[in-house]
Each structure stands twice: as structure tokens, then as C-alpha cells.
Amino acid sequence: MSPWEGLNRRRFPRVKYPCLVTIWMEDGSQKETFLTHTQNLGIGGICLKHDQRLKMQAKVSVEIDLMDMDGHIQCDARVVWVVQCKDHDKRKPMTFDVGLEFDNIAEDDRLRVSQIVQRLGKYPENIV
């Protein structure tokens, strides 16, 4: 069974959308900022590439810059899955696909994400 089997049962549609994501671990001891070619974005969460295997079910705070000239989205999230990337080049650091599920995202921010998903979802090459 591939690691992706069972993970693609999504409640919300997802689209390719690059953005800047800042993550703070629950204990506040670690701040991680990185620009990612997010795997996908949806109103329920975000998938991104990360160079560390985050702990499953870890609670994090996130700030997402949608690069749309509006304010950043800030909310809590939970790590719902982590999969080691298969395309790992032994000469480069290992990377992981990480799925974050949004928690307590403001309704205005959820609407912004929904509008992006609807706009990009009109083109099959953007749908994940």
C-alpha cells in the first residue's frame, strides 16, 4: 500500500498555490519560517514541504501569506499526516510532505481561501 492511499479522501477541494508559511510549535520553543511550493491549499488545510518530520497530531500556530496583497492569515493548525517524499535525491536533505488541518480560522480568512480555490479550481491543471 502506498503512503498516499487513504490520504486523498478529502472533505474539501484543493488547488496548487504557492505561499509563505510561518510555523510556531505549540511549546513556543521553535519558530520555523520557509517559502514553500505548497502542494495544495484548501479551506480545511494546507499541504507543504518541510525538511523535518513533524510529530503527528502536533498543534502549531501558522501564519500564511497568500501573496494577494491582503493581510496574513493567522490560525492554529494540527499536523494530520506526514509522508517522506519519494523523489529524495541522496545528495540533498530529506523532505516531507506535511498536511496541516486548520483550527479556529477566521470566517473572513476561510472565505479568502475559498475564493482562491474556486478561482483556480476552474482550471484542471490547478486541481490536486
- Rg value, the chain, Cα: 14
Q: Which of 36, 45, 38 is nearest to 13 (CA)?
A: 45
Q: How many angstroms separate the CA atoms of 43 and 116, rounded?
A: 9
Per-residue pLDDT of the chain (128 residues; tens, 9 = 90+): 444 444 445 567 889 998 888 888 776 566 666 666 678 999 999 999 888 888 899 998 899 999 888 899 999 999 999 998 886 667 777 889 999 999 999 999 999 999 999 999 888 898 88
d(CA 108, CA 116) in angstroms, rounded, equals 13
CA dist 8 and 31 (Å) reads 29
Domain ranges for the chain, please list them: 19-82+97-123
The yes or no reply on domain 19-82+97-123 and CATH 2.40.10.220 is: yes
d(CA 116, CA 128): 14
CA 35 to chain centre: 11
Q: Are strands 40-42 and 31-36 parallel, antiparallel or unpaired?
A: unpaired
Residue given cell 519560517 in the structure block: 33
